[in-house]
Amino acid sequence: MQKFIVFAALVAVTFASDVIDLTDSNFDSVVNGEDIILVEFFAPWCGHCKRLAPEYETAATALKKNDPPVALAKIDCVGDGKDKCQQYGVSGYPTLKIFKNGEVSAPYEGPRESAGIIGYMRKKAGPVTKVLNSVENAKNFVTKDDADDNAVVVGFFESADSDGAKTFKKLADALSEDFMFGVSTDSAINKEFKQKDSVVIFRPKRLQNKMEGATAEFDGDVSSLTDLKTFVNNNINGLVGHRTQGNQEQFQKPLIVAYYEVDYKRNTKGTNYWRNRVMKVGKKITEGGAKVFFAVSSATEFSQEIDEFSLNFESNPVVGAWNTKGQKFVMTDDFSMDTFEKFVNDFLDNKLEPHMKSEAIPDNSENAVKVAVGKNFADLVDDETKDVLIEFYAPWCGHCKSLEPKYNELAEKLAKEESIVIAKMDATANDVPPQYNVKGFPTIYFAPKGNKQNPKQYNGGREVDDFVKYLAAEATEELSGFTRKGKAKKAEL
């Protein structure tokens, strides 16, 4: 029995959640007890809610440690939270609302991925810059080193009214959704850190080593906002950053990522063993003048990304890269410093073929709706002689299944329009080109002739006539069977 209790306790710890579960009975007491809290009103059967869940969990863990802390909670609108969901007028799922001091402050209108939720809620919690008012306070701020902590940016100024301090405030306002900022106008703090009218990035202890300093100091004009932004963006993650789901948006391209068992909570030494090898190559490459960014990421945390690269992770690092166009590249050799260095140099010298996730090219000759895959996308959708309406879907998506008969009817209706193509692509089985921002399903875009790099997202109705009217108005050349207003033209006798 004792062993069972210990096992049960371990299981409970393993699956502990930082998202607070609300019910009709505890809603008021919990929400009233938080200065700021984000509440998700959900239904267990809701697909969007299920996709949000892991992102919401990651954000909850990060925001729990924020200063000030931000709580994330959820309430089941078809279970024991029906009354509260009705009270707050919830009609769709998920609905997210921000509460401050027990009252609804605003609807949540931010991103639905963890990094975006974290940044959005940090800004709502405010202030965006932590004022450092004692030496102890400042030391604690720059030396936090939980496994999820990132570097922090601190401005040291003699006066809050100085040009540098005012510019630093603008910097923090602009970048606070991505980075943590602190500011000191305290003479004792500035003396302790030996800083004056300066901006310094402090890297977390776990990422410090002999190849790179614990800090990065800005050596330019602190009143130049542009120069400060460039400094922060280029240096915040150091030579080889620890890239997580919570900070992945911080990493610029071209980017090279080594995936392995990155675990700074339980295996810092083993994690840095591989990171140091990546760093030695990265240091050599960047000191040679190359403009490229490096990172390490958990193979477990980024298993979907590894799948998109078609990589097979076992124990040693596997490597993927993106160029500035968003194209992906894969290191096919087993990892060693020599093979890694060769891959990086070949990548920078444009000697590698882009990796493309793609289903087999289908025979579209009999299809009214043409099927796009990774390997035929350029020929089908980027054809400069055609205007293309392209639906990005997922096989499991209920809305996509509901749309399918209408989309097929649309394609049949426009089959004689030689300048129009109606197409679809399974976005879960094929790489989506970077100019298409697909966050949910279905997502529909119109790619006109002559402007394939700037497609327009379709946000209109989902009935056949809605699509016809849209295409009739947007088509590069007037349709042969419809007026610009979408009215069917009378057949000529």
Per this entry, what is the length of the chain? 493
- Residue in this structure with the two tokens 């610009």, named with its chain if needed: 484
Starting from the edge strand earliest in sequence, which strands make up the sheet with 420-426, in order? 370-371, 420-426, 387-393, 443-447, 456-458
Residue 243's closest CA among 182, 174, 306?
306
Supply φ then ψ for residue 423, to 5 degrees.
Answer: -135, 165
What is the CA 185 to chain-centroid distance, rounded?
A: 34
Which residues make Cβ contacts (< 8 Å) with residue 268, sequence separation at least 6?
206
Q: Which helix (H) or strand (E) holds 139?
A: helix 135-143
Bridge-based pairing of strands 71-76 and 20-22 is: parallel
Q: Which residues pair with 182 in a beta bridge?
A: 130, 154
Question: Could you tell me if 221 and 180 are in contact, meaning their C-beta atoms sit under 8 angstroms apart?
Answer: no
Residue 77 falls in the annotated catalytic set: no
Backbone Cα Rg of the chain: 26
Contact 436, 480 (CB under 8 A): no
Active site residue 397: yes
Could you give the CA distance from residue 388 to residue 202 in angstroms, rounded to a whole number? 49
What's the distance, CA 111 to chain centroid? 9
- First vs last Cα of the chain: how many Å apart? 90
Q: Which is the catalytic residue, given 200, 361, 397, 473?
A: 397
Selected catalytic residue, list 18, 23, 46, 197: 46
Q: Which of 60, 400, 475, 479 is catalytic?
A: 400
Segment holding 399, helix H or strand E: helix 398-413
Q: In 288-393, where does DSSP find H-type helix?
A: 303-308, 337-348, 377-380
Is residue 400 annotated as part of the catalytic site, yes or no? yes
Q: How far apart are CA 7 and CA 2, in angstroms?
A: 9
- Answer whether the bond into residue 442 is a cis peptide, omega within 30°: yes
The two three-digit tokens of residue 55, written as one number:
């992102």
Identify which of 472, 362, 371 has the alpha carbon closest to the alpha carbon of residue 414: 472
264 DSSP assignment: T
Which of 30, 37, 43, 49 is flagged as catalytic? 49
3-class secondary structure, 240 = strand
Are 444 and 432 contacting, i.e. CB atoms less than 8 angstroms apart?
no
For residue 471, CA distances in Å to 463, 482, 489 come to 13, 10, 15
For residue 155, what are its two tokens? 């401005």
CA distance 474 to 389: 11
- Catalytic residues, by residue number, are 46, 49, 397, 400
